[in-house]
Structure formats: C-alpha cells, structure tokens
Amino acid sequence: MTTTGTAMQTDPRTDPMGETMERTTTATHTPHTSPAPPDAERLRRWRMVLGADSADSTERALTGQDAAMDRALNALYGGGGGKKPNGRGTGGRSAGLGASAPSVARWLGDIRTYFPSSVVQVMQRDAIDRLGLATLLLEPETLEAVEPDVHLVGTLLSLDKAMPETTKETARAVVRKVVEDLEARLESRTRATLTGALDRSARISRPRHRDIDWDRTIRANLKNYLTLPAPDTATTAGATGAAGKTGAAGATGTTTGTVVPERLIGYGRSSRSAKKDIVLCVDQSGSMAASVVHASVFGAVLASMRTLSTRLVVFDTAVVDLTDQLDDPVDVLFGIQLGGGTDINRALAYCQSRITRPADTVVVLISDLYEGGIRDEMLKRVAAMKASGVQFVTLLALSDEGAPAYDHEHAAALGALGTPAFACTPDLFPDVMAAAIEKRPLPIPDKEHQP
C-alpha cells in the first residue's frame, strides 16, 4: 500500500498462542531523515499494526484507503480465538470472508489493490489454511481473481479430481501462467549451462584431424612454444635471384617459432543420438507440491534439448511415467495426483529398469525420503546404480523455500553411499545438473547444514 509519502508492507506473523497477526512496517521515502511522526500519525500506524480490536485503545478511526486495507486484513486475521477451517472461531469475533465465491473474489481483488504481489501470495495461502478457501477455488470467478503462484498451483492440483468441468479451463489458465513465468525465468540459463556441460563432457583427447578444436589445442599447448632460427636467407635468395632484398632481411636475425601440440583437444563427432540420459524421479506426496511444479517445468526444458534424453517419473505408492507428456508441462501437472503414501524403492526399481547406458545416465531423486517401502532395498538399489556408473543425485526439495521436513536417517544413509541429500533452489538446479553431467562434485549449498 502506498499513502502520501509512505510505503507500507505487511508481514504476517504468528504469536506464541498460534494467532496470526499482521505487522505493518513503514518507511518514509525522503532524501533525509524525517522527524518522528506526530502523535496522530503514530496512532494511525499503531492502529494499522494492531488491527480492529485496538480501535478502542487507540481511539483512532480509519478512513479512506486505510479503512479498506483494515477491512481486508480483518476479514482474514480478525480477532477472536482460534479459527476452524471454515473460518468460525472458537470464541469471540472471528475472521471470515463469507460463504460465497463472489465475496471471496471481491476480497481477492481488494488485497491485490492494496498490497504487493509477494504479500498477496502470503495472504492467499493463509486464507486457504485458515478459512477453507480451497473449496471456493472450485468456482471460476474465484480463480480469476487470485494471484497465481507455485503454491496455488499445488492447491489446484490437489483439487483436480473434485474440480467441476466449468472450472477446469480456468484452472488450466492459472497453471499455465505460472508455468510460463517459470519457463521464462529458468529456460535460457538451463539451456546455456547444460549445453556447455554437455560439450565439455563430450570433449576427447585423441580426436581425428577434422574433429580437432584448434583454439583450445593451441591454448593448452602454449607452454610448448619453440623458437626456431631463421632460415639461411642468403642461400634462399641466391636460389631465387633476389639476394639483395632477402639478404638484408636475413641480416636482421629474424626468427620464427611454433607450438608443439603434445595434447590434442577436440569434440566427438556429432551424432543424432543423445549424449546423456536424464531420469527425474519425483515424489508426488502432498508436501512436495512446489517441487513437483518446478520438476515438471525443468523436465519440459530438458526434454526440448536434442542432446538429452529425458524421462519424468512421478510416484507415491504407485509409479507413473509421464515422459510422453513432457512437451507440455501443464499436461504433466494435471497428470499428477498429489498426496498418498510413498514407495521410493518401487519408483527406483522402475527407473533402474529403464537405464540402458549407465555411464551416460543421471538419475535425480526428488523426495523428502519418508520411505513407506523397503528401506534396505532402496539403499541397495541406489548403491547398485552408482556401481554401474550412474550419476545419482538426491534433492530433498526443488523449491525456493529450502529443505522441508525430511527423513534424516535415510538422508545420512544416502550420504554414506556418496549421494549427499540436500535442498536445491530452481536457480541452482542447472549448476547441479551440469556438475552431474561432467561428473564433478555437486555444488551443495550450506554444507555445514547438510545431513
């Protein structure tokens, strides 16, 4: 929200009693330090911070845009005791947005008017958690008013089976917008990073003459530069009948040199076959919603690179291969059913059965590692793949939020096998894949905090 000379941003917090409170921070946009606000302005700010329940104590009435912001905040974070999912409190006056989709749509429009996008997304998630807003997302008018983000996509995917046909097209449009935004952010860097990694991994040290990379070969052998004496120019000139000119040149002691190419560098001959096989094995349990969205986008990007053969496998207690849908990540996402149990061993068994070139294969397991299957078999399967030459990567999450709750015992066991488990942001993922392709150590963030 912007008022005269003042920018206000909200930051939802939770107090020790579990009540969500809204803190409003203010920053005056002036080139010099401003004096302390007068009492009236200070009371207005405290009134916005503390909410409607403080009206009596501050004796400050809100008007205009302040009042509209306060109503939007109070509808979600209003007073009273603990809130039930339907918004009815356990005591006192409770928050609520009404029971109709139109009223929710109006509220969603209001918060988009008064707050920045990052705050709107937080308030939407709180509304889904506190007020049972998820059920109203089944209405087209509600969906049209929301601020699309990765978490909203996860909620829509969990509601897919209950979603009426009249809402599905709107839901797909919301999901597509998020997917397109992610692709615009991630695709170019992913392509550039992995293309370089693939070229370097394909470099050979004994190339055929037509496959030599002369630029790199010369740079690699500059230490072998030899200075050679100039030829006997007088003799050469006499033989050619031009002794005067070349003889003078020879008198200057001109020398020449050459690079001795002890080590040749080149690339393998181009081939229509893929250089590397990538298998993304993604846990579709409810807690992994954001990771599923990002993995689907990355899967589509990788599948569009002709030098890669990409397979996308999602699992809970069942295993689903979505590779044939990778040309459209929206179709991939709507082919996923979030929730259910977890059988990592079964998923890895399927992935292992599809590996035909172990030395040229990278398997990426994205899971919180809460295994409902056979733990020892899972670990043996990972060890067997690594022994065959597969590059195995374990990501506890693929999202901007960091590591979720995960099974520390399983993470430690995988680390002991040489496969450290860590959370990965979407921006880091291309570097992780490049390191795996080149068989370099993985760029693990915050190693001291890894299991």
Beta bridge mates, 392? 363
Give the SS3 label for residue 9. strand
pLDDT exceeds cutoff 90 at 431? yes
What would the pLDDT profile of 103-120 be if each residue is shown by its tens digit? 777 777 788 788 888 888
* Percent of the chain whose pLDDT exceeds 90: 29
> Which of 18-32, 65-79, 93-107, 152-166 comes out lowest in average pLDDT?
18-32
Give yes or no for a contact between 262 and 221, defined as CB atoms under 8 angstroms apart: yes
DSSP 305-361: -TTEEEEEEEESSSEEE-GGGTT-HHHHHHT----S---HHHHHHHHHHT-S-GGGE
How far is the C-alpha of 390 from the C-alpha of 371, rounded, in Å? 22
Res. 258 pLDDT band, cuts 50 70 90: confident
What would the pLDDT profile of 357-388 be if each residue is shown by its tens digit? 999 999 999 999 998 878 899 999 999 999 99
What would the pLDDT profile of 270-282 be if each residue is shown by its tens digit? 444 568 999 999 9
Give yes or no for a contact between 319 and 347, defined as CB atoms under 8 angstroms apart: yes
Query: Which of 354, 349, 286, 288 lies closest to 319 in space, CA to CA?
Result: 349
DSSP 255-312: -EEEE--SS--EEPPP-SS-SEEEEEEEE-SGGGHHHHHHHHHHHHHHHT-TTEEEEE
pLDDT exceeds cutoff 50 at 14? no
Query: Which of 197, 404, 166 lies closest to 292 in space, CA to CA?
Result: 404
Q: Which residue has the higher pLDDT, 402 or 424?
A: 424
Mean pLDDT: which of 5-14, 23-32, 62-71 is highest? 62-71
Q: Which domains does the chain have, with CATH numbers?
A: 2-147 (no CATH), 184-201+273-449 (3.40.50.410), 209-267 (no CATH)
Kindly report whether the global pTM for this prediction surpasses the value 0.75: no
